[in-house]
Amino acid sequence: MLQTRRGLPPLVTSAIFRGVLRSSSFRRSPTTGLFIGLIITLAAILAYTSYIAFQIAGLRQLQHNLVDRNRKNSLQLLRIQNDLNSIALAMRDMLDNEEPYPLTAWSAQFQRARTDLTDALRLEEQVALAHRTPEQRQYLASSLTQFWDAVDRMFALAQQGKESEARSQIRVSLQARQAAIGTAVARLLVQNNESEEQAAAQITAIYDGVQRQVYLFLAATLIGIALTSLFLIRWNRQLFARLEALSDQRSELAQKLISMQESTLSHISRELHDEFGQILTAVGAMLGRAGKHVQQDSSLRSDLREVQEIVQSTLNNVRSLSQALHPVILDEAGLEKTIEWYIPTMERQTGIVISYEKSGEAFKVNGTEAIHIYRVLQEGLNNIARHAGTRQAWVRLRFLDRAIELEIEDHGRGMMTQSAKPAKGIGLVAMRERAELLGGSLDFLRPREGGTLIILRVPKERTDSHGG
């Protein structure tokens, strides 16, 4: 069956719209100034980002090299101090004459303290601050070594039964050495505390400097944004005012062109149906009457019958073409009956099985709006036949409280691209133009099963109007 190409008017409309845009006397574009401003802004952001990154890197290094190590070092010094206090308590108990135990009974306790002190001293040296002098590092280790040598001599005397000499060793040597080591550890803790206070002051200074720079940069940025925004607002107001006027002109032109198209198609349809159809009907009748006056076995009778069949076939094609251009049933019976007639016709022509579903309480749809809805359905099914590569489709007509909704669905390739957007074409442009003229919406979706789902939604008040 011969098909017509609908959509030329929207294409003409777009061409005219572009021509009007080109002919409009817009002033010079602000692109150059905005581009220069963008470069300056990006350069300022890059410079400020580099400054902040440098400050943060310094702050991170300060925290890692000083604060964190200082905290870990202080923990180990406290551990050493705690072990020294335990040893001091043990030595006090050893000097207590009321204790019934020999001095060798404290050997295991001193050994545990020695093991813990050795481990604490090793960890303390690993996290010791860089500014600590070699003498300070060496003093604590050598003092502990001398202390444990004295402890070993004291327990050796105790094992030889020389309890009084061993206690004298504790009073004269061990307690003094333990106190000296404790004093050294206390000095190191004080030094760590002073270093921590200095680091806190440096961190505060860094934060203050960064905060000032943030405020300055924020103020400069806000000023730049405000100036640029004011300029763009002024420019956009002028631009959108002109675009609004052009959009109104385009919409009016599109409506007139589509109306003219439908009027032309309707006129051609009536001419084909009434004039040409009547002529072919008359020719067929005349051929039938002529055949009756020819002998039954004459070859002329067979020729007349063949010509009559050709005329009848041509008449059927003319009627089909007339219905395709403008279905008369749309004016006589309305949108619902037209869809019910068109879907079986489309099935016969294309071989596609179309499932049709109607729901809701039907209401009358004005002739102008009805033809737009019908054309959207026609274009949607034609696209399925041409592009979807499937033999099944679904059409749903819903009469809602405040709108009428038409759905056209297929599960084939449809007309959706890989980016889930409908492909561009004259037919799709025409569908969008008609949806806009109806004051409705046209959505192209991808169903879960694949393919395309077209949803046309038209407000009910538009279907009751009498547009031209």
Three-class secondary structure of residue 359 per DSSP: strand
| Residue 360, beta-bridge partner list | 399
- The residue assigned the tokens 């307690």 is 175
For residues 227 and 230, give the distance between their C-alpha atoms in angstroms, rounded to a whole number: 5
- Going across the sheet that includes 392-399, the strands are 353-360, 392-399, 403-410, 452-459, 441-445
- Six token digits for residue 124: 């303390």
Superfamily the domain 328-463 falls into: Histidine kinase-like ATPase, C-terminal domain (3.30.565.10)
CA separation, residue 466 to residues 9, 260, 265 (Å): 21, 16, 20
For residues 413 and 298, give the distance between their C-alpha atoms in angstroms, rounded to a whole number: 56
Which CATH architecture does the domain made up of 33-224 adopt?
Answer: Up-down Bundle (1.20)
- Six token digits for residue 192: 């760590």
Three-class secondary structure of residue 458 per DSSP: strand
pLDDT at 12 over 50: no
The pLDDT tens digits of the residues spanning 261-300 come to: 767 876 776 676 667 667 877 777 777 777 777 777 777 7
Q: What is the dihedral angle through the alpha carbons of 204, 131, 66, 205, rounded to the nearest 10 degrees?
A: 10
The pLDDT tens digits of the residues spanning 313-357 come to: 887 777 667 766 767 777 778 888 888 888 998 898 889 999 999
Three-class secondary structure of residue 341 per DSSP: helix
- Six token digits for residue 51: 């400054």
Neighbours of 389 (CB within 10 A): 12
DSSP 8-state assignment for residue 240: H
Count Cα neighbours of 314 within 13 Å in the Cβ-side half-sphere: 16
pLDDT at 132 over 70: no
Rounded to two decimals, the pTM is 0.47
- Six token digits for residue 402: 């405040």
Confidence at residue 103, expressed as pLDDT on a 0 to 100 scale: 84
pLDDT at 51 over 60: yes
Confidence at residue 463, expressed as pLDDT on a 0 to 100 scale: 65
Looking at per-residue pLDDT, the higher value among 11 and 195 belongs to: 195
Pairing outcome for strands 452-459 and 403-410: antiparallel
Looking at per-residue pLDDT, the higher value among 1 and 28 belongs to: 28
The set of residues, in sequence order, having a beta carbon less than 8 Å from that of 140 and lying 6+ positions away, is: 80, 121, 124, 181, 184, 185, 188
Average pLDDT, the chain: 79
Three-class secondary structure of residue 10 per DSSP: helix
Pairing outcome for strands 392-399 and 403-410: antiparallel
44: part of which helix (H) or strand (E)? helix 31-62
Q: Considering only CA atoms, which of 326, 323, 340 is closest in space to residue 395?
A: 340
Confidence at residue 416, expressed as pLDDT on a 0 to 100 scale: 54
For residues 443 and 457, give the distance between their C-alpha atoms in angstroms, rounded to a whole number: 9
For residues 228 and 222, give the distance between their C-alpha atoms in angstroms, rounded to a whole number: 10
Confidence at residue 457, expressed as pLDDT on a 0 to 100 scale: 93
Confidence at residue 394, expressed as pLDDT on a 0 to 100 scale: 94
- The residue assigned the tokens 């705690």 is 82
| Residue 416, beta-bridge partner list | 422
For residues 82 and 272, give the distance between their C-alpha atoms in angstroms, rounded to a whole number: 112
**Average pLDDT value for residue range 104-113:** 88
**Average pLDDT value for residue range 197-204:** 79
Pairing outcome for strands 392-399 and 353-360: parallel
Q: Considering only CA atoms, which of 403, 407, 408 is closest in space to residue 439?
A: 403
Q: Which residues of 135-169 are buried (b: 16+ CB within 10 A; e: fewer)?
A: eeeebbeebbeebbebbeebbebbeeeeeeebbeb
- Domain edges within the chain: 33-224, 328-463
The pLDDT tens digits of the residues spanning 379-421 come to: 899 889 888 888 999 999 999 988 999 999 999 886 654 444 5
The set of residues, in sequence order, having a beta carbon less than 8 Å from that of 428 and lying 6+ positions away, is: 379, 383, 415, 422
